[in-house]
């Protein structure tokens, strides 16, 4: 294990092991799984300010989408002018095209730590006792395609995990579309300018692909963090709906120096 990740892996090991010890008298064999869930929720709680900022950034992206489409239609043959106009639009609205990505990027170090934690037989010079724990008889360090195969109890546990992940991905994508309808006041028809392409619709399900190649413990981490993200998005959506009504999509490019904050176009 690299020294760069050795320290966070050691820290995670002691935290999860300690939580497992505390929960064992109450939950027995499920204590390690519960400890993983609690650990993940603690991580997401620490990241909540960034998550809320990201949700605001995603709402801003949805609100700006019609304006960006109008700019591309007007300056599509003038790439440099298009970039200047887009940059000016983002600057006026105090956002950027990368708004909303910070929590996604910050999740990767924690997922990497979880992956290494349940792939390392030795942590901090001692045997990794977390590898002795399981979920419904499937060791937490086991991969989907390793061991008993697809038609087995192990395969059933992983397929159940994938089904739950896929369901949460679908709910999250649907809620995202509903938020866009609320912000813009209209839902773009399939194939229309500004409508999500195939890659954008499929991308949320990348979590299921990652879980297929990660240890079961990392899949549990992904399931918990995805459920947390969905809950955050639902709460943010309800709060936004109470603060303001739907906006109408603009039909023209905003005038230079103008702002989109004044209301419908």
Q: Which of 107-116, 177-186, 253-262 has the highest mean pLDDT?
A: 107-116
Mean pLDDT is lowest, of 38-47, 88-97, 180-189, 250-259, for 250-259
Reported as a pLDDT band with limits 50, 70 and 90, residue 180 is low
pTM here is 0.75
CA distance 157 to 139: 11
DSSP state letter for 147: T
Mean pLDDT on 146-162: 82
Inform me whether the pLDDT recorded for 198 exceeds 70. no
Strand ranges inside 16-145, DSSP E? 122-123, 126-127, 134-135, 138-139
| Residue keyed to tokens 């990368």 | 98
């Amino acid at each position: 294990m690299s020294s760069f990740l050795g320290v966070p892996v050691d820290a995670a090991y002691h935290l999860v092991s300690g939580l497992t010890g505390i929960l064992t008298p109450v939950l027995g064999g499920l204590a390690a799984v519960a400890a993983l869930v609690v650990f993940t929720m603690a991580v997401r709680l620490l990241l909540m300010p960034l998550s809320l900022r990201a949700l605001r950034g995603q709402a801003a992206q949805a609100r700006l989408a019609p304006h960006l489409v109008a700019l591309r239609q007007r300056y599509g043959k003038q790439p440099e002018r298009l970039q200047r106009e887009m940059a000016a639009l983002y600057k006026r609205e105090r956002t950027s095209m990368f708004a909303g990505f910070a929590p996604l990027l910050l999740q990767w170090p924690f997922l990497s730590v979880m992956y290494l934690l349940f792939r390392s037989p030795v942590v901090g010079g001692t045997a990794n006792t977390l590898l002795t724990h399981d979920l419904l008889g499937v060791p937490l360090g086991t991969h989907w395609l390793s061991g008993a195969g697809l038609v087995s109890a192990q395969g059933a546990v992983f397929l159940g995990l994938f089904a739950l992940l896929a369901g949460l991905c679908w709910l999250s994508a649907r809620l995202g579309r509903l938020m866009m309808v609320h912000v813009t006041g209209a839902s773009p028809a399939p194939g229309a300018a500004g409508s999500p392409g195939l890659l954008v619709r499929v991308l949320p399900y990348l979590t299921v692909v990652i879980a297929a190649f990660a240890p079961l413990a990392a899949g549990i981490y992904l399931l918990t963090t995805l459920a947390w993200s969905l809950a955050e998005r639902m709460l943010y959506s309800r709060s936004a709906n109470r603060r303001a009504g739907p906006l109408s999509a603009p039909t023209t490019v905003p005038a230079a120096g103008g702002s989109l904050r004044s209301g419908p176009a």
